[in-house]
Structure 1
Amino acid sequence: MESNGRQIQFGLIIILFLSSLIVPVILLYPIQEILYRPNEFYYFAPYFNAYIIFMVSLFVMALVLLINYLIIPKTKKRKNIKRGLVSTSLLIALGFIALSFNTYKWIDSRGIHMNPFFSLKVNFVEWEEIVKVEQVNLEKSGVTKPDHLVFTFQDGSTIEEPLAGNMVLAKNYIANELKQRGLTIENVYK
């Protein structure tokens, strides 16, 4: 019976190692959409580090289970210590997975909402606080393509958003919001 349990544990370890590469890409965005996406928005996306944190957390869970699989304690006291360490490690990894679900950003008619990693509340920047938006265009192999938008705020801080996927679609809405406030997206060539 114990060898059957060890086979199941080893199978789980392999599944966790492999899924640490695939599962975050498949599950993170849909889960965030269900939990956090507002009804009306121009752009909604997870931060890239949310994917990395999710991947690393699953990998650490697999690693902890592998160490647990390889170390066979001789006494009951050591078994209990090992169980406690494994349980604590897995709970911490699950906590980081939950935090990766809570790492996202969106743009709507009110402004830019950002919930970075380890933030328990959404940082909000109204359109009126934006003083400049630049579209950085990069030349590659003789072809100039839009690369990213740089938002500059009144306090001098900036954020960059890559012009890919949904952001390309949201750019027209962003330009319209800026136009209503007397701003335009400036082109910068690099």
Structure 2
Amino acid sequence: MATTETNRKHTQVAIVIVLFISSFIAPFIVLFPVQELLYRPSEFYLFEPVFKAYIILMAVLIVMAIVLLINLLITPKTKKGRILQRTMVGTSWLFVLGVLFLCINHYQIIDEKGLHINPFFSLQEDVTSWKEIERVEQVNVQKDGITKPEKLIFTLTDGSTIEQSISTKLTKAKPFINLELSKKGLSIENVYY
């Protein structure tokens, strides 16, 4: 009996360590390939996860490692306490799976139809067509004497805005964005701060 309990604790310690270490690596290895499998369209200018999804998934995995560590350190004395402890750990795993699903579902696409953004707490894409876009500004920021593009701000006909942080993929998509804007007589305007 004692050997089984010791083996169980060793297994739990291993899971906590693996979960903690993998929380820094797994989001970057798992998130994008799964999104590509599920959501990547055949033709697009930009397809990428929202960076916030990586951070949220990382934080949730760290929290799960902490929950399992607390579970390992606290040994309930009563049967009711053990049931409560198992319920809390099981609920935590369900929470992690739910957040994993939301992170996988959090992406952005730019294609010939417009901007498709699937917000974190949504199961449907918000689609903004090119017809709805009135202006696009590239915000350039000067740091240490070097001017760098920071973000694109899409201003819509209703006055609302959509901000996209400049990434390598977005930089590669800018010529296509300009092509779509040119059909409306627009182009990306540079703004300096």
Task: Bin the TM-score by the shorter chain.
Answer: over 0.9
Q: 1:136 to 1:72 in 2, by over 3 A?
A: same
| Displacement after TM superposition at 1:162 (Å) | 2.2
| Displacement after TM superposition at 1:143 (Å) | 2.9
Query: SS of the counterpart of 1:21?
Result: coil
Contact in 2 for aligned 1:21/1:55 (Cα 8 Å): yes
| Displacement after TM superposition at 1:164 (Å) | 2.2
CA deviation string 1:44-72 (max 9, x = no partner): 11112211211111112111111110111
Q: 1:149 to 1:77 in 2, by over 3 A?
A: same
> Counterpart in 1 of 2:136?
133
Give the one of 23, 38, 42 matched to 1:39: 42
> Aligned letter for 1:93?
V
Contact in 2 for aligned 1:57/1:94 (Cα 8 Å): no
Contact in 2 for aligned 1:17/1:58 (Cα 8 Å): yes
Give the one of 88, 91, 94 matched to 1:88: 91
Structure 1 residues not aligned, in runs of 5+? none
> Counterpart in 1 of 2:171?
168
Q: Provide the C-alpha distance between the structure 1 equivalents of 2:135 and 2:91, rounded to a whole number of angstroms.
A: 47
| Displacement after TM superposition at 1:131 (Å) | 0.1
Number of equivalenced pairs: 190
| Displacement after TM superposition at 1:80 (Å) | 1.5
| Displacement after TM superposition at 1:4 (Å) | 0.9
| Displacement after TM superposition at 1:74 (Å) | 1.7
Instruction: Confirm whether residue 14 of structure 1 aligns to residue 33 of structure 2.
Output: no
Structure 2 residues not aligned, in runs of 5+? none
Q: Provide the C-alpha distance between the structure 2 equivalents of 1:143 and 1:68, rounded to a whole number of angstroms.
A: 50
Give the one of 94, 115, 126 matched to 2:118: 115
| Displacement after TM superposition at 1:41 (Å) | 0.5
Query: SS of the counterpart of 2:31?
Result: helix
| Displacement after TM superposition at 1:141 (Å) | 2.9
Runs of 4+ in structure 1 deviating by more than 6 angstroms, as ranges, are none
| Displacement after TM superposition at 1:37 (Å) | 1.1
> Counterpart in 2 of 1:74?
77
What TM-score do the two structures reach when normalised by structure 2? 0.94
Q: Provide the C-alpha distance between the structure 1 equivalents of 2:24 and 2:88, rounded to a whole number of angstroms.
A: 25
> Counterpart in 2 of 1:144?
147
> Counterpart in 1 of 2:26?
23
> Aligned letter for 2:55?
I
